[in-house]
Chains A and B, each alone.
Chain A
Amino acid sequence: MSVLESFVVTLFSMSIVFFVLAFLWALIKILSTVLKHFENRKSENTAAQVATGMQAAVAAASEIGSVASISAGQVKLIDVDEKTAAMIMAIVSHESQIPLSELSFKSIKAL
């Protein structure tokens, strides 16, 4: 093979190498764009679902809150301020391992 022919082979081969890798470059770009688009849509849907779920949770919590305020009843505090009473209720709950919502206090009295 003459030097001129080998130059032609080189030009041709390098062009093909660049073409193949440039095509792969384009394919990766397209793939990334398409997948990003899908992932964005997916995350938007997820975000919407989370938002709906949160709204439902807030509504349920406020309902529970209103129920709790009804069922909590009244605690008679005798010579005890509210802050100390709250602290005592928390300690009792912690020591007895019973959640505060399940405990019922009738009165708290200073001795």
Chain B
Amino acid sequence: MFVDALKTIWSDSGFAALAWKECIMIGVAFFLIYLAIVKKFEPLLLLPIAFGMLLVNLPLSGLMNEPAEGSSGPGGLLHYLYMGVKLGIYPSLIFLGIGAMTDFGPLIARPSSLFMGAGAQFGIFAAFIIASALGFDPQEASSIGIIGGADGPTAIYLTTRLAPDLLPAIAIAAYSYMALIPMIQPPLMRLITTKKEREIKMEQLREVSKLEKICFPIIVSVFCILLLPSVAPLIGMLMLGNLFRESGVVERLSETAQNALINIVTIFLGVTVGATAVADRFLRLQTLMIIGLGLLAFMFSTVGGLLIGKLMCWLSGGKINPLIGSAGVSAVPMAARVSQIEGQKANKSNYLLMHAMGPNVAGVIGSAVAAGILLALFG
């Protein structure tokens, strides 16, 4: 009797249902957990993503199960939380928090930074061309290309609308490469710029008035949303968060948006995106191709930003250090920090961080605009 009971427990357990594909996915999840905790690669998102991936690949957990048809029983916990991703709620709420945390002052002080933010979107479309050539349909190619925008919420938002099947691979590639920016960008920066250019010290930025900072989010929202209505959830929330911050009259809302709210949404977003990485959907040649194309997209974006930076350096008579162009790939503030570090390597008295924040935040707007265009074309 006991033997039968043990047999039943075993056959009903997840161990008996474990297939080799799930084992690989559990291994991938362990590796990502290691990267997040030990290597500190974007741990705020990579850790929940990796744990979501682990949970969903443990057989019979049913965490992502839809409620059975005709049954009154509920579906899995993560299935319901995933609705926030599917409906585009979480990325927009994360943008609200990012807006509340972002100071657009350096961009307003030097609006020409916007051109570097635009140039750094080149990677999105370069990857789009290559993905199309490799046989991906336009929706999939757009979702793969957006990895080059180096903007996690935008990548997730666009992919859930155009190619939801690719979401786990794209989300993991986007966040992993954002964490790897200090390794991806510097060789390209040194390759494209001369030592003389990297040594350029930039003039201090002018002081931006409070009124300018208040008017900025309102004007950007009105113009961008009128031109590209599909981008309203992202730009609208980003600018609302920024208005909370700059208005100075809703301190509590600003505090909540940049702390509690963004943290809660990050947990839900990370776990549920990770939970979409089930073995059958993830362990495909396509995933490897997406990861490779994502890297290319990042590299082309960096090159695009640097080339515009070089052009602006030339046009300004050597007053602009082209290194700040690479910060146009978004990934706030990591990419700006990389510009600062490379600038200081060339000239110890060089402080590029605030100058690089301009293209950096311009990149956030640029990638949202690029996503809006792709949605308008292929949505």
Contact = CB atoms under 8 A, between A and B. Distances in A.
Interface of A: 1-3, 5-7, 9-10, 13-14, 16-18, 20-25, 27-29, 31-32, 35, 39
26 contacts: A1-B137, A3-B132, A6-B132, A6-B138, A6-B141, A7-B129, A9-B377, A10-B129, A14-B122, A16-B369, A18-B118, A20-B223, A20-B227, A21-B117, A21-B365, A21-B366, A21-B369, A23-B223, A24-B111, A25-B112, A25-B115, A27-B219, A28-B111, A29-B111, A31-B212, A32-B108
A4 B118 CA distance: 23
A14 to B, nearest CB: 6
B362 interface: yes
Contact of A21 (B132, B133, B138, B362): B362
B349 interface: no
B8 interface: no
A35 B215 CA distance: 10
A10 B300 CA distance: 13
B215 A6 contact: no
B219 A17 contact: no
Contacts of B220: 24, 27
B44 to A, nearest CB: 28
Q: Which of B117, B129, B138 has the most CB of A within 10 A?
A: B129
Chain A interface main SS type = helix
A3 B224 CA distance: 29
A13 B376 CA distance: 10
B373 interface: yes
Given A1-B132, A6-B128, A17 B114 contact: no
B373 A13 contact: yes
Nearest to B222: A27
Contacts of A17: 118, 121, 366, 369-370, 373
B209 interface: yes
A7 B374 CA distance: 14
Contacts of B362: 21
A35 B212 contact: yes
A40 B141 CA distance: 51
B204 to A, nearest CB: 17
Interface in B92-119: 107-108, 111-112, 114-115, 117-118
Q: Which of A2, A9, A10, A22 has the most CB of B within 10 A?
A: A9
A3 B373 contact: no
Contacts of B125: 9-10, 13-14
Contacts of B282: none
A1 B141 CA distance: 10
A22 B116 CA distance: 11
Contact of B114 (A3, A14, A21): A21
B215 A22 contact: no
Nearest to B133: A3
Contacts of A23: 223
Nearest to A13: B373
Given A21-B366, A24-B224, 4 more contacts: A13-B374, A25-B114, A27-B223, A39-B209
A1 B216 contact: no
Interface in B238-278: none
Contacts of B133: 3, 6
Contacts of B366: 17, 21
A25 B215 contact: no
A39 B206 CA distance: 15
Contacts of A25: 111-112, 114-115
B211 interface: yes
A28 to B, nearest CB: 4
Interface string B127-168: 011001100011001000000000000000000000000000
Nearest to B118: A21
Nearest to A24: B114
